[in-house]
Structure 1
């Protein structure tokens, strides 16, 4: 999920003919005198093991990290830790299913696995789910711009409060940023140098984590009310301010707990990038790529846990659904927080066009599969996507809702459901019968995804309908 990096997406052309090739046992010794069969792993990957870990970590890392402290505040430390371990293990298992499926048929793209498993409808389904997820990711990035850019401008003007001018209105600012920065970059024919923003994005999040840990020891609880603006203090803060406000909860459940698993799922989605990274890995084998995935997930697990823990222990019940926005309550002119905001803003702004490219590619393949490149289509799709995302960000009241909806729909599809049903359909019966333990496990995994999706959406819709108090950045 994430500051998603589309490593390898632009290099799929020329490999479409490989989708019918089986990987077989590519790590077994080759028998002399027998002509070697071509496998998709015969594409000579040149990316080292360490760089592959870095690339997959970039694909996992995303804006979801900003919502984890809010999730912990609504579950308690122990329950959050249990859920985080649960989602991390399931993510690693789903990558195992993807790699096993890809190894059987020699395919390096998520959508093509869908095509192999269910034909054109499967390809369409996978493409649509990835598109929805990436639109959600773009929305979360622009929501950060809407929430944080006014605070940055306010800090440069030396103001402690938002005085209501148009240039301090987040809705106007995202339209300006979209028109002047994102749209021109999205109109480029190739991603080019934008691919390098992945490293910068990860560096920004490491800087963010260090700052969160440092600020834990510099902010006292309860927060100093002199910096509070009535529009900044959520009902959630007021409700909890007199109820053991500065005491860490080990286990708690409330109306906002329903958003926790979707936020965590959103934070671990990297599955569309797994196969391109696998193909580019030097000396690629399933075991080696699974190790890359396990190390990347473990690294992000540690980073997520530290961010959530120190963010929660700084603000407790006052933490907002976008953690960085919460620091404006303490001192809007804080230099360290201003630097973090600037770094995150630049990173997410440059990442939006990177995420837009694979959406446009998927739409072109679905709507205009045989058409050659045309600038009008190239521009039209980019403009429509950015327009839709701007509408979402303007009218959705909280980034929590974006994390919740995307985390409850496309995230479980990409993590639980699609890898499982692809595995069941693609791995041949003679290799693993339908009633074999691996396929029964995969079927249970898919069922778990459906249960998770239905329960999460039910709780979220119930929260909306009953009008529960809303806590979130972007007020």
Structure 2
């Protein structure tokens, strides 16, 4: 795990919005976050509640189609992070915002900061919205009572309590390395989810059980069973378009990459690249396993949120109750990690670089969490709102910004393979972002 020789006092003389690497700033550096702790923090930044929708994405793209898309996104994420780390090594800059400033002057720095702030506030709000919706159901599945209007069935009350008792204390921690313990818990919860999905594959029969009352219904179900239980390699339909945004942003962790790099013990590009490779690879395996076995359990009848499929066929199953609680805890523990880059970006936008100050640190933490709480509590449906924002900000952080930064900062010739890859990343990001934006706008208009 992470060890800090100076504890909180290690921030004296540092700036809230500046990189922490001694080799980049000339400062004497204390022992930072361990290699394993950095991998766990990175995986916590990558994986969230989106894992619940991957089986549905596979059901609409087919096994081979899903694997190809997931592998493409994995490679794009790995390459874009490689570009960022290379630029950090060349320039001595270890801040996403500062890279934007080097590439596009002050407008670039402000643009990157705003993008990070919007993206991370949107992500935190969506996670807390899930907690508001799912926590009461999770508690009801565990506790049986005969009373109406019990306080713990009000998602808003539960959300406020959880935010004050869990999210706020973790978000107030001054360094991202202190979150490695909560990140390890989040990883265990996600791993537990994947293991249960594998085990339950052999607990639910295929074809899925139906409430059959007529003989001809039973005959029809019998004839369709072969069709229901046959996995498909490639599926192309109108619903396939919805799988692309889900997969495109499943490896988005770029706002946390450089803060994690800044606090890595003995930070070098090669060492951080190894952290990235291991974190992305383990996330890829968990994504693929959970999606595959979730799909092979329900086939074409998988719900957009995988846990809903289990609720329909094995309601009040003790194991699935614990999985629901584990996923909620994993989502909850991800919020403080996403909060860190958002606070760092807000500090840079308002105050620039200034010495660390506990009063400022606390005020900004409370302000951001307050905004996120208000959005999660009072916005009735944040899916389309933040889907619209996410389709633009996520694409910028994943593809567009790394491509632009390399082309503007690096001295590599345009015809070199790495520059060609940066151009490809930039063009692909523009295409995917535009496509996702149009899909969300059209579906939102049709829904209204």
Counterpart check, 1:118 vs 2:104: yes
Q: Does 1:252 align with 2:232?
A: no
Note the C-alpha offset of 1:357.
4.4
1:448–1:303 Cα change, 3 Å: same
Quick check: which one's helix share is greater?
A: 2
What residue in structure 1 maps to residue 14 of structure 2? Answer: 14
Relative to 1, partners in 2 of residues 1:358 and 1:98: Cα closer, same or farther, differing over 3 Å?
closer
Cα shift at 1:319: 1.7
The residue aligned with 2:134 is: 148
How much has 1:17 moved relative to structure 2? 10
Tell me what 1:181 maps to.
162
- CA drift at 1:312: 0.9
1:274 positional shift: 1.8
Distance 1:222 1:143 in 2: 34
CA change 1:293–1:304 in 2 (3 A) is same
Query: Residue 224 of structure 1: CA displacement?
Result: 3.3
Post-superposition offset of 1:453: 0.6
The question of whether the paired residues in 2 share the 8 Å contact of 1:76 and 1:251 is answered with yes
Aligned to 1:300: 283
Deviations 1:152-185 (A, max 9, x none): 23323459xxx99655998x41x11232220455
What SS does the aligned partner of 1:248 have?
Answer: coil
The alpha-carbon distance between structure 1 residues 194 and 176, as it changes in their structure 2 partners (threshold 3 A), is: farther
RMSD of Structure 2 on Structure 1 (CA):
3.6
> Deviation string for 1:55-94 (max 9, x for gaps)?
3223222222111111111111110000011000111110
Matched, 1:310 2:298: no
Provide structure 1 residue ranges, at least 5 long, that are not aligned to the other structure: 1-7, 24-37, 228-240, 469-475
- Residue 354 (structure 1) shift: 4.2
Q: What SS class does the counterpart of residue 281 from structure 1 fall into? A: coil
- 1:346 matched to 2:329? The reply is yes
Q: Mapping of 1:74-473 within 5 angstroms?
A: 74-158=60-144, 172-173=154-155, 175-183=156-164, 185=166, 187-188=168-169, 190-191=172-173, 196-225=181-210, 244-369=227-352, 373=359, 379-392=366-379, 394-396=380-382, 405=388, 408-428=391-411, 432-467=412-447
TM-fit CA distance, 1:115: 1.9
- 8 Å Cα contact 1:145-1:345 kept in structure 2: yes
Residue 403 of structure 1: how far off its partner (Å) = 8.3
In the TM superposition, what is the alpha-carbon distance from 1:130 to its structure 2 partner? 1.6
Q: Distance in 2 between matches of 1:340 and 1:346?
A: 10
2:59 is matched with 73
Range 46-55 or range 454-463, more displaced: 46-55
1:54 and 2:34 are equivalent in the alignment = no
Q: Following TM superposition, by how much is the alpha carbon of 1:53 offset from its aligned partner in structure 2, in angstroms? A: 2.8
Q: What TM-score does the superposition give when structure 2 sets the normalisation length?
A: 0.81
Alpha-carbon spacing, 1:356–1:285, altered in 2? closer, same or farther (3 Å) = closer
Cα distance in 2 for residues equivalent to 1:168 and 1:225: 36
The answer to which of 135-144 and 361-370 deviates more is: 361-370
**Per-residue deviation, 1:385:** 2.5
Counterpart in the other structure of 1:472: none
1:140, CA displacement in angstroms?
Answer: 3.3
Q: Is the contact between residue 155 and residue 333 of structure 1 (CA under 8 Å) also seen in structure 2?
A: yes
Partner-residue secondary structure (3-state), 1:58 = helix
Residue 14 of structure 1 and its aligned partner are, at CA, apart by 1.7
Aligned residue pairs, count: 421
Gaps in structure 2 of 5+ consecutive residues: 1-7, 213-223
Which piece of structure 1 moves more, 401-410 or 76-85? 401-410
Closer/same/farther in 2, CA of residues 51 and 194 from structure 1, 3 Å limit? closer
Deviates more, 1:304-313 or 1:175-184: 175-184
User: Which stretch has the larger CA shift, 284-293 or 371-380?
Assistant: 371-380
Q: Counterparts of 2:17 and 2:151 in 1: how far apart (Å)?
A: 52
In structure 2, do the counterparts of structure 1 residues 446 and 190 end up closer, same or farther at CA, with 3 Å as the change threshold? same
Q: Report the TM-score, using the length of structure 1 for normalisation.
A: 0.77
Tell me the alpha carbon deviations over residues 205-227 of structure 1, each in whole angstroms, 9 at most, x when there is no partner: 00100111111110123443459
